[in-house]
Structure 1
């Protein structure tokens, strides 16, 4: 341990060493300065007091599992600095042996990788924001056709279970609203219709602005054709707008089928045809 102290205290990385019982017995000066604690406070499992509570069990489990097999390990966890701020640490540890090959315990080297985590978090946030923009209708905040196609890949096809309902929703008299009241009012109507659809459908349902004044809702996991009309009735009751000049309603067409043997395009076509028939009865 004297050799460890002499070499380790001059090292810029955070270093530690454990004995054959797995208990940490040495920490270099860089570690102790980082933590703002004494060697006696960190020894044993005292160092775990500085590990973030959400990381502590995983951290200890990784170490003890590797120790039991005398294998090297890498792990990342958050460790409290002397000022109380948690920093991300990359801990690389492995077994150490004497000249005769006898196991002496472990030695580890730790690096502050917080900046890397920050960059990765920023990149992930940017990717999520880009994905949201790509799949979202800018006016109404619901999905667009891109989202619809992406959802179809996971909802339909071999291996899918249950039934899927598709609702084709068309705003009644929308052209007259734009012509008589202006496109600003028309935009508000579409936004409120979209909000009504989101409010009445389940969190797992997919709602998109299909085009102009048309919306499509895809509702997976229904038990059968009997559920479809109940969903449509809820939509008709909620997806309407009260204007001072008039009440704006919607016409809804529906279709449903087994997810394993149906296609999104076929269900949309059937629901669109039913909607058109309801709006223009022969």
Structure 2
């Protein structure tokens, strides 16, 4: 009986011993697996390009991967606890500490940019991030964090910022639109010229903004897609609805595979330049057809207008009044040519005020003026001459002095059926003017008949 009990106890001990050996072997396998997993994890963490760290719930750092030591030059022992803080840039250290304290207090995600000192004393921009590991009950167990070197990104952003500032310094309107005409980029030059801010236009149709009809921009885009570039002049409207003339230089932007993706446009506002050019052209044209001193038509324009009038098929009669100032030479001799010019300008103004719509007043040289207009008969033509003589007669102030002004006017008339050239008609009026000046200076006269050679005074 006793032997049997002993045998049973031995068997039980052997069974328990076997179970213990199996349990120990299982634990050994688990420990080895854990060791291997931890080694693999450390190897993986050390192979990561980022700095990796682990902290307790209260923020006390308990682990850094090798990248931290390689970057900062600190040992692991120097870095644990709160030893991680000294490498921070003095200007960023306080903000980083406050952000980390707030994260550990609230359990919120930690993310901040700061500068971290390298082992060689230089600073690199870092993006620091950390998230908490929580238990099933929601308690924070650990913090896992990374530091990512973003120095190259910061430098690229700085270069882009410099380029953006350069874009904004230029007076040109620089913009980028996609192939659907949606605005992608809009610099301050575009804001100044066209009135819209970048926030107002981004994503909106360029056609709807500055080219309501769309035809001009559609043509530009067709040429751009065909040739890859376009240059020319565009007339668009600004935010206030005013027309803006721009010289554009457009280039097609492409994807890496060569397919078109957007259009880059550099536009120079030439509105004022075109206005000045138009004014200059008008002035040049005026100088070619008008007297520069008085602004009246010159000899060339007078003859063109008179020939045109005489050549009309169903014209009325035509009157030509030749006007010559009396005693004008004495004004120049006594007070100088500047005073004489003032008298001529005064006479021109009086003629402009007197002639009818459709009449042409011209200065053809010196103190000689000619007025051409329609007339039904010689009496009407003579009345035109009389009005002109009366208009010129009077006084004007020159260099602070009153100067008497008068003119002798000779009138020639050609009926609707008479054929005569402009030269002949003006010569006839000139001849009559000399007759008037000899016999009744300061008045007007008209020829009796083209063949008579005399003048009939008013």
Scaled by the length of structure 2, the TM-score of the pair is 0.40
What residue is the counterpart of 2:438 in the other structure? 280
Is 1:78 the counterpart of 2:231? The answer is: no
Is 1:188 the counterpart of 2:342? The answer is: yes
2:246–2:269 contact (8 Å) kept in structure 1: no
1:108-127 matches, within 5 Å, as: 114-115=268-269, 119-127=273-281
CA distance in 2 between partners of 1:259 and 1:114 (Å): 58
CA distance in 2 between partners of 1:159 and 1:109 (Å): 58
What residue is the counterpart of 2:381 in the other structure? 228
CA RMSD of aligned residues (A): 4.6
2:233–2:245 contact (8 Å) kept in structure 1: no
Deviations 1:66-95 (A, max 9, x none): 9xxxxx8999432327x999643689xxxx
CA distance in 2 between partners of 1:110 and 1:233 (Å): 68
What residue is the counterpart of 2:329 in the other structure? 175
CA distance in 2 between partners of 1:156 and 1:30 (Å): 62
3-state SS of paired residue (1:237): helix
Is 1:145 the counterpart of 2:299? The answer is: yes
Moved more, 156-165 or 209-218: 156-165
Indicate the structure (1 or 2) with the bigger Cα radius of gyration.
2
2:412 to 226, 249, 255: 255
Deviations 1:124-149 (A, max 9, x none): 33222222233343443433323324
What residue is the counterpart of 2:43 in the other structure? none
Deviations 1:37-88 (A, max 9, x none): 2567x36xx964x44xxx85xx36x58xx9xxxxx8999432327x999643
Q: Describe the shift of the 1:236–1:121 C-alpha distance in structure 2 as closer, same or farther (beyond 3 A).
A: same
1:89–1:111 contact (8 Å) kept in structure 2: no
3-state SS of paired residue (2:349): helix
CA distance in 2 between partners of 1:277 and 1:156 (Å): 25
CA distance in 2 between partners of 1:149 and 1:241 (Å): 29
1:251–1:278 contact (8 Å) kept in structure 2: yes
1:156–1:260 contact (8 Å) kept in structure 2: no
1:255–1:267 contact (8 Å) kept in structure 2: yes
Q: Describe the shift of the 1:275–1:16 C-alpha distance in structure 2 as closer, same or farther (beyond 3 A).
A: farther
1:190–1:213 contact (8 Å) kept in structure 2: yes
What residue is the counterpart of 1:241 in the other structure? 394
CA distance in 2 between partners of 1:32 and 1:216 (Å): 58
Per-residue deviation, 1:169: 0.4
CA distance in 2 between partners of 1:16 and 1:263 (Å): 65
3-state SS of paired residue (1:29): strand
CA distance in 1 between partners of 2:178 and 2:315 (Å): 53
Scaled by the length of structure 1, the TM-score of the pair is 0.60
CA distance in 1 between partners of 2:264 and 2:381 (Å): 58
CA distance in 2 between partners of 1:208 and 1:259 (Å): 25
1:266 to 395, 401, 424: 424
3-state SS of paired residue (2:237): strand
Per-residue deviation, 1:215: 0.9
Per-residue deviation, 1:114: 4.5
CA distance in 2 between partners of 1:115 and 1:218 (Å): 44
3-state SS of paired residue (2:185): helix
Per-residue deviation, 1:209: 1.9
